[in-house]
Amino acid sequence: MGRMRNMPLLLAAILVMSAFVVGMAYPSTASSSSVIPLDDSDHGTFAIGETFQFDADVSISGVYGSMSEEDKMGSYTADVKKGETWETEGLQSGYYKVVEKRGFLASLFRQANYAWLKLGGPIEVSEVMEGTIVVDKINTAALGDTVVISGSTTGFPDGTPINVLLKGKYKVLAPITTTVEDGAFNMELDTAKEDLGFSTGSYRVIVYYDNWPPEYQSTDIHDVEAFVLLPPTMDANLEDTTITTLDGFVVSGTTTGSPDEVEVWLMGRNLAAVVSLPVVENAFEYALTVDSFRNWFTNEGPISQPENFKPGTYTVMIVDPCTDDFYRYDDDLVATGTMIAGDVNKFFENQKLTMNKDITEMALLDIEYPEVTLSATDAVAQGDDFVIGGTTNMVDGTTMIVHVEGKGVDRTQVTDVKDGAFDATFEGTKDWPTGDYLATVEDANGILYEQMDSKVVMPAAAPEEEPEEVEPEEVEPEEEPEEEETPGFGAVISIAGLLSVAYLVVRRRR
């Protein structure tokens, strides 16, 4: 009998379970209201048309593109009492924030609880059950870069929602929805947005089509990729380490993390100045003059911009803000500049007490008074090139104006400094009168000035050419013919001798 009495209860339980199973298999927007606890978390995605109840009196606001009140897409507000039903029929897709309503005194002792809900399109009984999703390879990026997640699909009509879920080591980001267009999808993630909460490290990217039940299931059509976010970097350069008070200096560099701008601080004794420079495609290069710096400070506060740089040794500090903007002492530029001018070490000590991510690089810059020295040119012969040159401590590329003036001559040339030297060559002096000339050199602003006297003289007389001695041609002597011996010459001499002897003998006999 006891079993028979309990039979109606057993049948009722079976019917309830059957209805629940049917409801899970074939969801309906007309089902009973879901009760949402206010537990400071994300409660997932629901269909537009579902109804909800809450465990406290609440205020509801929307519509947001993500779980951030700064990512506003539309305007919606509603107040719902505990136990009442919130109807969502006809509402816009997106995120809604539900916040507990508390009295003034209660809010002093405890912060109001909240919950996030995402409303999507009405749940369709007919879902895409076959198809493919292929995610393209994702490049390694730096924190702050824009990461592109793209890929291709088959079996999905245009407009089909595709969800992108990112899972990091310490955080899972809420799914972000894009749509299929021409069998492909493409989405850009700005990793600099603080509300997304990116940090360095590796991320798994799950791109899926959300079949029932809601949220990602391994049975959903999906594909998985991964990428790495590296810390942002900056490589900055100061091209000239010594300049004059009339010069500027060039800063350049490359970055990762895609900052919009960098700051350059010029720090001297009880002096600081700052300028912001745009970064284009992770690179920057600018020539800075005294006019480039519009904000100047001493340890007592802001000052007016000087006309020129003052001589001395300075520190150039280049700052990359990374993803959290430039550090400001007391959140104020004037307070920051005043502190840097007075004691830059104190500035860095305060910065370390925060979670600021600024990247800084520094270099020394010497600023000197400008100097120029002309090379001596005592005299130039008519017809020779008249060369005016010299040395200077002004930076390479500085324009120098060289002027030569004399009797009936007024000539000017423009040249540039290279490796600390310059020169100008005046040709065609053949027609210049002899006499005194004045050479003048000045910079393009007419501030640096130097002069030198020189002369144009008659060319030296050309020496008379001595006739060349013609060497006689060498004549080979003719060979003398050999003398032939005269036959009987010795006999003649002998006969003559004999005749003499005979003559003497004859004379003595007489």
Q: Are strands 372-374 and 386-392 parallel, antiparallel or unpaired?
A: antiparallel
Report d(CA 341, CA 49) in Å as an integer. Answer: 61
Contact, 132 vs 185, CB < 8 A?
no
Task: Report pLDDT for 501.
Answer: 40
| Separation CA 209–CA 163 (nearest Å) | 6
Q: Is 350 helix (H, G, I), strand (E, B) or coil?
A: helix
One fold for 132-230 and 234-368: yes
DSSP state of 458: P
Sign for the CA dihedral angle at 68, 73, 78, 81 comes to negative
Amino acid at 417: V
Do 261 and 275 touch, CB atoms closer than 8 A? no
Select 234-368's CATH number: 3.30.565.40, 3.40.50.720, 2.60.40.10, 3.40.50.300: 2.60.40.10
Instruction: Out of 162-176, 219-233, 450-464, pick the least confident.
Output: 450-464
Rounded distance between C-alpha atoms, residue 457 and residue 181, angstroms: 85
**Residue 181 identity (one-letter amino acid):** E
The domain segmentation of the chain, as residue ranges, is 27-120, 132-230, 234-368, 372-457
Alpha-carbon distance 388 to 483, whole Å? 83
Write out pLDDT tens, residues 474-503.
666 666 555 555 444 444 334 344 334 434
Looking at residue 11, what is its pLDDT?
40
Q: For residues 100-124, b (16+ Cβ closer than 10 Å) or e, as one string?
A: bbbeeeeeeeeeebebbbbbbeebe
Mention every residue, 6+ apart, whose C-beta is less than 8 A from residue 337. Answer: 272, 273, 274, 295, 296, 297, 302
Determine the pLDDT at residue 106.
Answer: 61
Q: What is the pLDDT of residues 143-153, one digit of tens each?
A: 999 999 999 99
Average pLDDT of the segment spanning 86-112: 81
| Beta-bridge partners for 116 | 42, 97
| CATH superfamily, with its number, for domain 132-230 | Immunoglobulins (2.60.40.10)
Residue 33, pLDDT > 80, answer no
- Does residue 31 carry a pLDDT above 60? no
Q: Could you give the percent of the chain with pLDDT greater than 70?
A: 81
Taking phi first (over 0 means left), then psi (-120 to 50 degrees means alpha), and beta for anything else, what does residue 320 get? beta
Rounded Cα gap, residues 377 and 388, in angstroms: 7
Name the more confident of 16 and 352: 352
pTM, to two decimals: 0.62
Please give the radius of gyration of the chain, using alpha carbons only, rounded to the nearest integer.
51
Cα dihedral angle (432, 437, 441, 442), rounded to 10 degrees? -100
Q: Which CATH number fits domain 372-457: 2.60.40.2950, 3.30.930.10, 2.170.130.10, 3.40.50.620?
A: 2.60.40.2950
| 207 and 184 Cβ atoms separated by less than 8 Å | no
Would you place residue 466 in the very low, low, confident or very high pLDDT band (cuts 50, 70, 90)?
low
Residue 237: its H or E element? strand 234-238
Nearest to 272 by CA among 337, 219, 325: 337
What the block records as the tokens of 369 is 């008074």
Q: Across residues 254-277, what is the average pLDDT? A: 97
CA atoms within 13 A on the CB side of 140: 8
Tell me: the pLDDT tens digits for 365-418?
Answer: 999 999 999 998 889 999 999 999 999 999 999 999 999 999 999 999 999 999
